Structure 1
Amino acid sequence: MYAVFKTGGKQYRASKGDRLRVERLDAEEGSTIEFDQVLLVGEGTDVKLGSPLVSGGKVKAKVKSQGRGRKIKVLKFKRRKNYMRVKGHRQHFTEVEITSITGGPRKKAAAESEPAAETKAEA
């Protein structure tokens, strides 16, 4: 089972056991957090698409660590004028491990469609 959820202005596709780096969240290491802005939940060929969100869809994750990413250098210069400025930036992130996904497609609907196909084959 996989899900697409939104946090920090970005969308992430995740399955159970995946480790993701998301935008910094105010949570302690080892705590459990819940993402409730689930856009899509799928399992195999069955997909439940929200409009815009899946009702009852939740992704639970455990916070593994907080950190900062690699430094990005921003360079600003004017040619032939001996003017150059270099600035650096390190983005904060939270690393999470997905523990569970709920609100997926119903298995009951797939089971109901199979007997209907068998009766047509007999007739």
Structure 2
Amino acid sequence: MTYAVVATGGKQYKVVEGETLRVEKIAGEVGAEIVLDSVLLARIEDALKIGQPILEGAAVHATIVEQDKSKKVLVFKYKRRKRYRRMQGHRQPYTALRINRIEA
């Protein structure tokens, strides 16, 4: 089984070839191919390579499938007996990526 752990947007994701995952927003048009070069760990067949902190020469090639915003999260502040209420909504932008291939 081939997989890798990549860091993007301040988070780490385990990726497998062919899967689609949502990450923090990355600039680019839908259909564009991007290269994630901050690979922390890669396993190709039986060989496991661990970076310190990243693997040199390793990369994950992905295609941007979607640029959108996630569902609305409501933030409600309330203080009893003080007539204080504040409602605020937030939609976090994301980028959906399809993993094409993993190079180590």
Q: Which TM-score applies when normalising by structure 2?
A: 0.94
Q: Secondary structure of 1:74's partner?
A: strand
Task: Summarize deviations over 1:26-83 as a string: whole Å, max 9, x none.
Answer: 1100010000000000135532100000111100000111000010111111111121
Q: How far 1:96 moved relative to its partner?
A: 0.6
**As a proportion of its length, which structure holds more strand?**
2
CA distance in 2, matches of 1:23, 1:32: 16
Give the 5 Å matches for 1:14-53: 14-43=15-44, 45-53=46-54
1:81 aligned to 2:95?
Answer: no
Partner of 2:7: 6
Q: State how many pairs are aligned.
A: 103
CA distance in 2, matches of 1:29, 1:43: 28
Q: How far 1:5 moved relative to its partner?
A: 0.3
Tell me how large the CA RMSD over aligned residues is.
1.0
Unaligned runs of 5+ in 2: none
Which amino acid in the other structure matches residue 18 of structure 2? G
CA distance in 2, matches of 1:71, 1:57: 36
Identity %: 43
Q: Secondary structure of 1:52's partner?
A: coil
After alignment, is 76-85 or 10-19 more displaced?
Answer: 76-85
Higher relative contact order (CA 8 A, sep 6+): 2
Partner of 1:91: 92
Q: Which TM-score applies when normalising by structure 1?
A: 0.80
**As a proportion of its length, which structure holds more helix?**
1
Which amino acid in the other structure matches residue 47 of structure 1? L
Aligned structure 1 segments of 4 or more residues deviating by more than 6 angstroms: none
Unaligned runs of 5+ in 1: 104-123
Larger radius of gyration: 1
CA distance in 2, matches of 1:43, 1:76: 49
CA distance in 2, matches of 1:31, 1:45: 31
CA distance in 2, matches of 1:62, 1:50: 24
Give the 5 Å matches for 1:99-114: 99-103=100-104
